[in-house]
Chain A
Amino acid sequence: MELARRIAVVGVGETRYERRSSRDLAALRREAACAALADAGLEAAAVDGLIVPGAGYGELHELARDLGIRGQFHAASCFHSGTAVVAAPLEAALAIESGLAHTVLCCQGVAWGSERRGNVGQPHAEMRMKAAFEIPFGWYPQVVHFAGMARRHMELYGTTEAQLGAVAVACRRHAALHDNAILRDEPLGLDDYLTAPYLADPFRAADCCLVNDGAGAFVMTSLARARDLRARPAVVLGAGSGIIPDGEYSSLREDYLATAAAHSAPRAFAMAGVSPADVDFVALYDNFTALVIQQLEDMGFCRRGEGGPFVEGGRIELGGALPVNPSGGQLAQAFVFSMNHVVEAVHQLRGEAGPRQVAGAEVGVVTGYTGAQHATLVLGRG
Chain B
Amino acid sequence: MPELAERHLPDPGWPVARPFWDGCRAGELRIPRCERCGRWVWYPAPACPDCGGERHAWTATSGRARLFTWVTVHRAFLPGYRVPYVTALVELVEDTRVRLATYLRDVPAGGLRTGMRVEVVFESVTEQLTLPVFRCVR
**What's the Cα separation between A252 and B85 when bound, in Å?**
21
In B89-112, the 8 Å CB interface with A consists of 89, 97, 99-103
Inter-chain contact A249/B78, CB cutoff 8 Å: no
Q: Does A292 contact B (CB under 8 A)?
A: no
In A182-207, the 8 Å CB interface with B consists of 197-201
- B135 CB to nearest A CB, Å: 14
Q: Does B11 contact A (CB under 8 A)?
A: yes
Q: Which of A17-25, A80-88, A103-111, A135-143 is the contact stretch? A: A135-143
Contacts of B4 in A (CB 8 A): 135-136, 138
Inter-chain contact A246/B49, CB cutoff 8 Å: yes
Inter-chain contact A128/B16, CB cutoff 8 Å: yes
Inter-chain contact B8/A141, CB cutoff 8 Å: no
**What's the Cα separation between A121 and B71 when bound, in Å?**
17
Q: Does B126 contact A (CB under 8 A)?
A: no
Inter-chain contact A121/B77, CB cutoff 8 Å: yes
CB 8 Å contact bits of A336-354 with B (1 = contact, 0 = none): 0000000000000000000
CB 8 Å contact bits of A253-267 with B (1 = contact, 0 = none): 010100000000000
Inter-chain contact A140/B74, CB cutoff 8 Å: no
**What's the Cα separation between A204 and B110 when bound, in Å?**
22
A-B contact count (CB 8 A): 103
Contacts of A251 in B (CB 8 A): 89, 99, 101
Inter-chain contact B81/A138, CB cutoff 8 Å: yes
Quick one: closest B residue to A142, CB to CB?
Answer: B77
Inter-chain contact A200/B101, CB cutoff 8 Å: no
Contacts of A246 in B (CB 8 A): 49
Q: List 11 A-B contacts (CB under 8 A).
A: A119-B78, A128-B14, A137-B100, A137-B103, A138-B81, A139-B101, A155-B113, A155-B114, A201-B73, A254-B97, A256-B68
- Add 15 more A-B contacts to A135-B78, A137-B100 (CB < 8 A): A131-B10, A132-B16, A138-B101, A139-B89, A139-B101, A140-B77, A140-B78, A144-B71, A144-B77, A147-B71, A148-B69, A151-B69, A155-B113, A200-B73, A251-B89
Binding site for B on A (CB under 8 A): 119, 121, 128-129, 131-141, 143-144, 147-149, 151-152, 155-156, 197-201, 246, 249, 251-252, 254, 256
